[in-house]
Structure 1
């Protein structure tokens, strides 16, 4: 049985993370964005989830500014979706934010991504508004979801 572990992302992980990003998003991030987030953004915290401590199958990123946490992105390789691995990864990010003193957590999700919205609701996130035409690839609206962490 496969074991899944979560650890802090480092620059050596970027190539594998970009594979996950490219199959998950229509406008994946560039290597330069990931390098900047890891090396230069003091608010950014990124983690990878690995299968058997050798294969990166997903990642999550968040910014923590004072007591506000914002999920920047979360993604899994398609073959690993539907097995609650995303819940494990998201739950880790929530607990990390709490440990770092965040009292609120928010994110944006495509209004069409009902599966992700259902998962976020399991963690207590609720809709807080709409960002019109948020996604530049197709102009889709984003649903803003948030939760008080304590």
Structure 2
């Protein structure tokens, strides 16, 4: 059974393993342990029974949320869990006062770009040589109607 909940410090090791599996320059266990206690951070983990199979997070400052990372274990990708996780993260950020959300995505990550566009993100620029592992650019994307998006999700559940 799939469920979602907020990240707690005890999740740091499992989340760091997923991060290492997913990204060429991963955050450490200590990074996630700190994020779990950061008042400006909002992280959600995805569980299958008791096992953490994914996570997503953002930093919230004033009315803006910046997605820091989102990942699922390799075997869980392609099942729609990323969209469900991102939707929950967007709603959680809106509930904490964010009106807008931004993120960076690799041009080579077509599936992530499609997902973000489906959720209402629009490309607005490029950050040159953003990714340290290969100097790949990043596409900067914004969602400027986060509260309306969250309201629509609530209405759809009712």
TM bucket, shorter chain: over 0.9
Q: Distance in 1 between matches of 2:28 and 2:51?
A: 20
The match for 1:69 is: 65
Q: Within 5 Å, which residues of 2 pair with 1:1-150? A: 3-39=1-37, 41-52=38-49, 54-148=50-144, 149=146, 150=148
Aligned equivalents of 2:98 and 2:110: distance in 1? Answer: 26
Does the 8 Å contact 2:103/2:140 carry over to 1?
A: yes
**TM-score normalised by the chain length of structure 2:** 0.89
Following TM superposition, by how much is the alpha carbon of 1:42 offset from its aligned partner in structure 2, in angstroms?
2.0
Q: Normalised by the size of structure 1, how large is the TM-score?
A: 0.94
Q: Which runs of 5+ in 1 are unaligned?
A: none
Moved more, 26-35 or 62-71: 26-35
Instruction: Give the superposed CA RMSD.
Output: 0.9
Per-residue CA distance 1:7-49 (angstroms, 9 max, x = gap):
011111111111111110011111221122222x321111100
Distance across 1 between alignment mates of 2:119 and 2:109 = 16
Question: Higher helix share goes to which structure?
Answer: 2
Query: Gaps spanning 5+ residues in structure 2: where?
Result: 149-158
SS in 1 for 2:140: strand
- Partners of 2:30 and 2:14 in 1: CA distance: 14
Q: Distance in 1 between matches of 2:137 and 2:56?
A: 21
